[in-house]
Amino acid sequence: MRRNIRFKQRSIKRRAVFTVFFVLAAIIAFILLVAISSLTNADKLMKKDGEAVPPYATNRFSSFRSVSFTSGGGQIPLKGWLVETRVTPPRATLIIVHQQGSNRLPYGLATTSLYTQLTKAGFQILAFDLRHSGESGGEMSSFGYAEAEDVRMALEWVIRNTSQNPIVFYGFGSGTTAIFRMMDQLKKEVASEMVDIISETVPAPENSLSAIEIKKRISAIIVDSPARDSDEFIKTAVHEDGNKLFFWLKNTTPYAVRMSIGNSERIDHFAEFTTLTLPVMVFGHEIDSILPVSAYRPMIDERLRLHPAWTSVFEAEGSGHLSSYTDDPEEYTEALLEFLQKWFPKN
């Protein structure tokens, strides 16, 4: 009898150990599945080829020149155009920062008409391809995370190679978060430089541009279909893939993207955007068709509350994403030129 009891006890223990082992193995397997699928999905999204630059697009410009500079520590060649104006000096230089999967013409060939209107009004334009886009190099793009460096290099190219006129950033979709991220990094550099100036400890390297002077040149920001952080654009890209079986990818892929570029820091640009003491123009629709309302509406409303005199908003009727220009090019262009002419009047 006792032997039977002991045998049953051993059997119960074995089953318990086996159950625990099975549960742990299942958990580990699920964790591995989540990690591998997230990294695989991130890799697919980041290496997805963007749109090619339309051939002969420059035939529509009266004057332009091809430009090139590098990012990624000098390892990634970036290419673009400086679309010139006949007004001397230009009223301002606009730096175009396109969305993930696009190129220097965010609205395709229709963008050339917009650029032409801007140059006629006296504004010159640096339109360039971010990494892994258009004609630029680079093995992957990252929805604005690594592209912040590309934006910084474009800014420094303009400062070094054009006249001392004001600079305006003009971002689209995930390009807006690349601008915000660069601005956040620049603000930290300015603070560090101020400490160095006060303590008089660190001399500036030769031929380097001062972060303080760089920041002074940025005179306005224009954003089309913005969001408060890059992860929102990654989540929408995952959602558009429509893989419902791997339900976790929407939340894990953004982290995998950040890990892939060696940066796990997620930054919410709400405060940066709403408190920025520069003229800001916002384009979009009444309802963004791909971004959740929480990703854009609160920061636009807060911006209007804090800086109503410095903020202009153009919202096309209904829903859409990055289509407010193509939906109504005349009204869009009129609103854009009104904003620019207000803050950068003719001499």
Q: pLDDT tens across 42-101, in order?
A: 999 999 998 999 988 888 898 999 999 999 999 999 999 999 999 999 999 999 999 999
List strand residue ranges (DSSP E) for 39-142, in order: 64-71, 76-83, 92-97, 123-128
Residue 155 has pLDDT above 70, yes or no: yes
Q: Tell me which residue range forms the domain holding 337.
A: 48-229+267-343
Angle 187-45-233 from CA coordinates, rounded to 5°: 50
Angle 333-339-341 from CA coordinates, rounded to 5°: 95
Q: 105 near 82, Cβ under 8 Å?
A: no
Residue 154 has pLDDT above 90, yes or no: yes
Q: Work out the widest C-alpha separation in the chain, in whole angstroms.
A: 106
HSE, side-chain direction, 13 A CA sphere, residue 174:
24
Backbone angles phi, psi at 141, to 5 degrees: -115, 165
* Predicted local confidence at residue 346, as pLDDT: 85
For residues 301 and 297, give the distance between their C-alpha atoms in angstroms, rounded to a whole number: 6
What does pTM read for this prediction?
Answer: 0.91
Under the banding of pLDDT at 50, 70 and 90, the label for residue 198 is confident
- Classify residue 27: in a domain, yes or no: no
Angle of helix 230-241 relative to helix 174-199, nearest 10 degrees? 160
- Classify residue 236: in a domain, yes or no: no
* Residue 102 falls in which region: left (phi positive, over 0), alpha (psi -120 to 50) or beta: beta
- Classify residue 256: in a domain, yes or no: no
| Helix, strand, coil percent values for the chain (each to nearest 5) | 50, 15, 35
Q: 217 near 181, Cβ under 8 Å?
A: no
Tell me the CATH number at 277: 3.40.50.1820
> What total of structural domains would you count in the chain?
1
- Classify residue 117: in a domain, yes or no: yes
**Mapping DSSP to helix (H, G, I), strand (E, B) and coil, where does residue 189 land?**
helix
Q: What is the pLDDT of residues 284-331, one digit of tens each?
A: 999 999 999 999 999 999 999 999 999 999 999 999 999 999 999 999
Q: From edge to edge, which strands make up the β-sheet containing 167-172?
A: 64-71, 76-83, 123-128, 92-97, 167-172, 218-224, 280-288, 311-320
Residues in the chain: 347
- Classify residue 249: in a domain, yes or no: no
* Predicted local confidence at residue 239, as pLDDT: 87
- Classify residue 202: in a domain, yes or no: yes
- Other beta carbons within 10 Å of 243: 13
Residue 279 has pLDDT above 70, yes or no: yes
* Predicted local confidence at residue 163, as pLDDT: 85
* Predicted local confidence at residue 244, as pLDDT: 74
Average pLDDT over residues 194-206: 69
Amino acid identity for residue 340 in this structure: L
Q: What is the dihedral of CA 307, 313, 318, 319, to 10 degrees?
A: -80
* Predicted local confidence at residue 329, as pLDDT: 95
- Classify residue 164: in a domain, yes or no: yes
Does residue 226 have a cis peptide bond before it, meaning omega lies within 30 degrees of 0? Answer: no
Angle 332-334-337 from CA coordinates, rounded to 5°: 110
- Classify residue 95: in a domain, yes or no: yes
In DSSP notation, 83-137 reads E--SSSS-SEEEEEEPPTT--S-TTTTHHHHHHHHHHHTTEEEEEEPPTTSTT--
Among 30-34, 218-222, 270-274, the minimum mean pLDDT is found in 30-34
Residue 210 has pLDDT above 80, yes or no: yes
Residue 245 has pLDDT above 60, yes or no: yes
Residue written as token pair 């190219």: 157
